[in-house]
Amino acid sequence: MSGFLRGMWLIVTLDLKQRVRGVAWYVLLGVFVLLVTIVTVLTVVASNAWDTGGGAVFSVVVFFVLLLGTLVSPALSGNAINGERDTGTLATTQVTLITTAQLVVGKWLAAWLTALAFLAASVPFLVFGIVLGQITAATILISVLVLAVELAVIAAIGVGLSGVLTRPLFSVVVTYLVVAALSVGTLIAFGLGGASIQSDVRQTTIAVDYEALDENGLPPNGSEVPCLGPQSYEYQTPRFDAVWGFLAANPYVVVADASPITFDEHGSPRDLFGWIAVGVRQAQHAPDLEPVYDECADWKGYNGYVGSDYETPREIYDRSVPSWFVGLAIHLLLGAGALAWAWRRSEVPVRRLPAGSRIA
Amino acid sequence: MAGIRVEGVARSFGEVHAVRNAAFEVEPGTVAGLIGPNGAGKTTLLLMLASLLAPDSGSIRIAGYDPVTEPHQVRRRMGWMPDTLGSWPTLTVRAALATSGRMYGMSSDAASDRAADLIGLVSLDPLADQPTRVLSRGQKQRLSLARALVHDPEVLLLDEPASGLDPAARAALRELVRKLAGDGKTVLVSSHVLAELEEMADTAVYLADGETAAPDDVARAGQAARGWRIRSLDADRLSAALEAAGFGAVAVVDRFGAVVPFASEADAAQMLAHLVGVGVPISSFAPAVGDLEHVFHDLNRQGGEA
């Protein structure tokens, strides 16, 4: 095992050495920090954060770092293997004692570490949230961890595709498309998918016969509440519970859902991430297809109709599956699958060579 | 110590049969030239020997191991110099060689020492601490050769090692290859510059249309009539003498002298004695083409007629 790690680390250091000696990487890092600074300053001004606390600033900066990270990461990883083949250094590595697994895992780690540098550069801006208040160190730690895992997944997809597809340009573009599919495609799939699966709802209402009440709004002669017969009507409702997995697979939702949630006294979330978390968890639950609103049963006397019990967001949150866990599991499967595919396709000696590709 | 053994190896890419039937052996301590026209399958064959490409059929043994089932054992013992010259562009020559050494499991120190030795061996000392991207083609070629030697392999596969080298570097390469063979290594060198192989190869493997020529065909081709180039201080007397000796019809006379086909070396020797005897001032009398080229052309001609 130590032999495996040694060879893999050699690939990682080789890859990193080549990256950090290029100017492009530093320019990219500088632009990244500049953009995060601008966004942080503007959000602080816009949300009046000195008075209202750093919750909004924190949410915006985390999402912005995720956005930039997902934009930068495919470029850092999407040509890891086929780019080496193009420069003619892949085959000379493959004839050494370095195994394909060491090569693929090493390339992935190198791409991930490079992307992590961007995350590290944004940590000061996240810590700024503590200064403004409202945000705890635990929240920042968890958000940074989840962001790191998301960058690992994108790096894995990029390196994986670079091992599967022959042309570097093509694999970088496909990696971007996968990122777009996860970030935007999942929202579209969730919205359209939920709306296209409709269920019939049969709603029954048992209303109080207000006309039969006396002038005080009480049942006459202290008798039972006069009720009208049950009335029902039907309508259709979208079934988001069938497609909530799409929403869970959205990296923004994963990041939002994973950060610790805080509720106010009414059981409502305090920040943007909390509302997203409650929203995605609410989507898990099937709508009641035969709701009964029994005004009579809930009758508590004059002005006493209290209505049926509504669940607070907190109650919904607590009785649902943690969405971030599902989303992260989907992402990890995607990433691991991409790496495994690249491993299989880069194995030498090659038996089946895809048309148009070459070995050295 | 088993050198290289190849039996009935074939490999196709889709409809293209790059190698149809390759069979040959190279003994340890010898240098074999792999000769064939462009597109004959030389590089494909070398890729299979280098454990990068699996043959469709047939068997290969490199130093006694099968590159398909025991690639690790083969890679320990085999050095491969590809025809495409890749190098990590931002690494220095020294770092690139040391990294290659570490990929073969050497410790950092051992790899650095080996890199320093190899830099001297291929005369890249002035460029040792330059990034590899500044190297010229010939310098990259030498770096590539050094990399193939980094783990002191028993079997060396060199794909077009001399292309891009200046005459001095070619001479150095020739000496190095001969020295490696002298140390008991097995060397297979592909090239289509036949004059060059002539000077370093002990044996030759002829590959045409993906098939290696049978030893009998090679022997026959070697014995076929070949042209000898004769130069004289007096071109007119030379052509007159050839005419008189009955070679007027077959001799090709040009401004350098004449090219005359002889069936054997004995015939050639006899003619030389005759020309000198009749007083033609001969300044040069030698085969017009080298042995390898002679066989190569003859086999190609046979292939064309078949």
Q: What is the CATH number of the domain that holds B112?
A: 3.40.50.300
> Which positions in chain A touch B90 (Cβ < 8 Å)?
17-18, 21-22
Contact A7 B91 (CB under 8 A): no
A-B contacts (CB, under 8 Å): 90
B92 lies in which domain range?
4-212
Clarify whether residues B158 and B237 are in a common domain.
Answer: no
- Per-residue pLDDT of B5-52, as tens digits, reads 999 999 998 888 899 999 999 999 999 999 888 888 899 999 999 999
Clarify whether residues B106 and B208 are in a common domain.
Answer: yes
Which one, of A343, A357, A318, lies nearest residue A94 by Cα?
A343
Q: Which residues of A touch B (CB under 8 A)?
A: 3, 7, 10, 14, 17-18, 21-22, 84, 87-98, 348-351, 353, 355, 359-360
> Which positions in chain B touch A91 (Cβ < 8 Å)?
50, 52, 82, 84, 86
Alpha carbon of B54: minimum distance to chain A alpha carbons (Å): 5
Clarify whether residues B116 and B21 are in a common domain.
Answer: yes
Contact A96 B84 (CB under 8 A): no
CB B250 within 8 A of CB B61: no
Clarify whether residues B236 and B98 are in a common domain.
Answer: no
State how far the alpha carbon of A127 is from the alpha carbons of A29, A130, A242, in Å: 19, 5, 38
> Which positions in chain B touch A359 (Cβ < 8 Å)?
47, 52-53
**Chosen domain end from B212, B246, B267:** B212
Number of structural domains chain B divides into:
2
Structure tokens of A155? Answer: 């790096």
* Cβ-proximal residues to A23 (8 Å cutoff; 6+ apart), any chain: none
Q: Does the CB of B105 have a partner CB in chain A at under 8 Å?
A: yes
State how far the alpha carbon of A10 is from the alpha carbons of A111, A117, A316, B100, in Å: 14, 19, 49, 10
Q: What is the CATH number of the domain that holds B248?
A: 3.30.70
**Chosen domain end from B212, B230, B253:** B212
Q: Which residues of chain A have pLDDT under 70?
A: 1, 222, 298-309, 355-357, 360
Which one, of B208, B230, B232, lies nearest residue B221 by Cα?
B208
Q: What is the pLDDT of residue A302?
A: 54
* pLDDT band, residue B306 (cuts 50/70/90): very low
Burial B204-226 (b: 16+ CB within 10 A, else e): bbbbbbbbbbeeebbeebeebeb
Q: Is the preceding omega at residue A349 within 30 degrees of 0, hence cis?
A: yes
Mutation to test the B interface, candidates A19, A23, A90, A95, most B Cβ within 10 Å: A95
From B54, B75, B147, residue closest to A97, measured CB to CB:
B75
Burial A250-274 (b: 16+ CB within 10 A, else e): bbbbbbbbbbebebeeebebebbbb
Mean pLDDT of B125-130: 94
Clarify whether residues B202 and B245 are in a common domain.
Answer: no
Clarify whether residues B25 and B52 are in a common domain.
Answer: yes
- Per-residue pLDDT of B133-167, as tens digits, reads 999 988 999 999 999 999 999 999 999 898 888 88
**SS3 category, B117:** helix
* Cβ-proximal residues to A73 (8 Å cutoff; 6+ apart), any chain: A111, A115, A151, A154, A155, A158, A179
Q: What is the pLDDT of residue A331?
A: 96
Clarify whether residues B84 and B168 are in a common domain.
Answer: yes
- Per-residue pLDDT of A154-187, as tens digits, reads 999 999 999 999 899 999 999 999 999 999 999 9
**Chosen domain end from B195, B212, B229:** B212
Q: What is the pLDDT of residue B59?
A: 95
* Cβ-proximal residues to B215 (8 Å cutoff; 6+ apart), any chain: none
Alpha-carbon gap, residue A122 to A115, rounded angstroms: 11
Clarify whether residues B189 and B253 are in a common domain.
Answer: no
Contact A91 B52 (CB under 8 A): yes
Using a pLDDT cut of 70, give the percent of chain B over it.
96
Clarify whether residues B179 and B289 are in a common domain.
Answer: no
Clarify whether residues B106 and B242 are in a common domain.
Answer: no
**Is pLDDT of B1 > 70?**
no
3-state helix, strand and coil shares in percent for chain B, rounded to the nearest 5 = 40, 25, 30
Long-range contacts at A136-141 (CB < 8 A, ≥ 24 apart): A136/A260, A138/A260, A139/A58, A139/A259, A139/A260, A140/A58
* Residue found under tokens 């291929």: B122
Q: What is the ipTM of this complex?
A: 0.82
Clarify whether residues B16 and B164 are in a common domain.
Answer: yes
- Per-residue pLDDT of B224-265, as tens digits, reads 777 888 888 888 888 888 888 888 777 787 777 788 888 888
Structure tokens of A202? Answer: 């049969």
Alpha carbon of B48: minimum distance to chain A alpha carbons (Å): 8
Q: Does the CB of B92 have a partner CB in chain A at under 8 Å?
A: no
Mean pLDDT of chain B: 88
Which of the pair, B228 or B290, is modelled with greater confidence?
Answer: B228
Contact B53 A350 (CB under 8 A): yes
Clarify whether residues B143 and B273 are in a common domain.
Answer: no
Write phi, then psi, for A319 (nearest 5 degrees). -100, 15
* Residue found under tokens 């889709």: B14
What's the DSSP call for residue A222? G
> CA neighbours within 13 Å on the CB side: how many for A283?
23
Which residue does chain A place closest to B48, by CA atoms?
A: A349
Contact B147 A92 (CB under 8 A): yes
> Which positions in chain B touch A21 (Cβ < 8 Å)?
90
* pLDDT band, residue B80 (cuts 50/70/90): very high
